[in-house]
Amino acid sequence: MQALLILLELIRSPSGLRVVIEGGRMRLLRIAGVLVCLLVVVSFASAGTNMGIRDVGRVTFAAPIRVGTALLPAGDYIVRHTM
């Protein structure tokens, strides 16, 4: 009961109202920060070690294509990711 009276007294005073509102805002920011951190941790854990990058991929070009300064003829190619 005494805590309720203190809360009512804080709400009635102009400076106390600001304290109550800022306390709620800080709590909301803290909860949002924790949720964002959990989301980042879960996304990295589910991605594994290769982060969604394949080691080997196969590509077929129907016509000659320029890659950088080289002109590759049409055909099947194997693309390997090295790091």
Structure tokens at 28: 């909301």
**Global confidence as pTM:** 0.38
Domain ranges of the chain: 1-52, 53-83
Can you tell me the distance from the alpha carbon of 7 to that of 1, in angstroms, rounded to the nearest whole number?
10
In this prediction, residue 30 has a pLDDT band, given cuts at 50, 70 and 90, of confident
User: Please, which residues have CB within 8 angstroms of residue 47's CB and are 6 or more apart in sequence?
Assistant: none
In this prediction, residue 74 has a pLDDT band, given cuts at 50, 70 and 90, of very high
Higher pLDDT, 33 or 8: 33
